[in-house]
Homo-oligomer: A and B are copies of this chain.
């Protein structure tokens, strides 16, 4: 079977209305099957990640992985962090949740705060939202003029290319849900007092701009899906598929790094002899 990333990669112009949010590409099984598979995938992820981490510690690699999550409210960024990022060793993970920029951040170029949060060699970084907000909400809410928005698409591509040239691999996931998926999930939050904290009245203001956001995502998926750093459209109407798919793609990404265990930079036999006397 071809790898899942090739199935989900955005190529050329994208019309999101033609992609079903409850589709389950490359998975034929039930919810229960997907959930049962996750710990197995987790074990393999943990093993591949250890190899990356070991090389990072030993200073024998420049490789690093950045998983970037974008999607409308309730699309499952938090759930993906919990259920997928939660599968790997937290020592090797750096998570950044990007909020509205602070005053200091706004006084710099939009990529300044992002650059600082790129994972170092040996690590897996996860972005919960990202620099793409600057061409999403930035565009929909006209937070910058259109020339500036135009400039940013290329700036993002250059920035990501530089990350890749330095040994980075990007896994950019758009969690694709429908307005009905969102309506159901927002209603759940409003029906359950243990979920009120996840709800923000502003979410409905954004929801009113659904079509504008979808259009902004389509532009991103077309202009910023490059051979070095493709975007993946992950149907996220079914949470179990979303988790399975992202975990699977993360595994593909790690395995492709094709690393070896770092060699000893000391004389193993000499160390054994010394230890034996102690």
| A183: interface (CB < 8 Å) | yes
Q: Among B57, B204, B271, which residue has its beta carbon within 8 angstroms of that of A190?
A: B271
Q: Are A187 and B275 in contact (CB under 8 A)?
A: yes
Query: Quick one: which of A92-133 are within 8 Å of B by CB?
Result: 93, 95, 97, 126, 128
Q: Which residue of B lies closest to A97 (CB)?
A: B91
The smallest C-beta distance from A46 to any residue of chain B, in angstroms, reads: 8
Q: Are B197 and A58 in contact (CB under 8 A)?
A: yes
Q: Are A196 and B85 in contact (CB under 8 A)?
A: no
Q: Are B197 and A275 in contact (CB under 8 A)?
A: no
| A27: interface (CB < 8 Å) | no
Q: Are A196 and B261 in contact (CB under 8 A)?
A: yes
The interface stretch among A6-14, A163-171, A220-228, A262-270 is A262-270
- Contact residues in B for A126 (Cβ distance below 8 Å): 90
Size bracket, chain A contacts: 35 or more
| A41: interface (CB < 8 Å) | no
- Contact residues in B for A90 (Cβ distance below 8 Å): 81-82, 85-86, 90, 93, 95, 126
The smallest C-beta distance from A12 to any residue of chain B, in angstroms, reads: 32
Q: Are B86 and A82 in contact (CB under 8 A)?
A: no
- Contact residues in B for A58 (Cβ distance below 8 Å): 197
The smallest C-beta distance from A195 to any residue of chain B, in angstroms, reads: 8
CA distance A85 to B86 in the complex (A): 10
| A3: interface (CB < 8 Å) | no
| A1: interface (CB < 8 Å) | no
Q: Are A187 and B78 in contact (CB under 8 A)?
A: no
Q: Are B57 and A197 in contact (CB under 8 A)?
A: yes
| A89: interface (CB < 8 Å) | yes
Q: Do A261 and B81 contact each other (CB < 8 Å), given the known contacts A86-B86, A95-B91?
A: no
Contact with B along A245-276 (1 / 0, CB 8 A): 00000000000000001111010100110110
The 10 closest A-B pairs by CB, nearest first: A54-B197, A196-B264, A82-B89, A197-B262, A58-B197, A81-B91, A201-B266, A194-B261, A85-B90, A190-B272
5 contacts between A and B (CB under 8 A): A86-B90, A91-B97, A91-B128, A183-B278, A190-B271
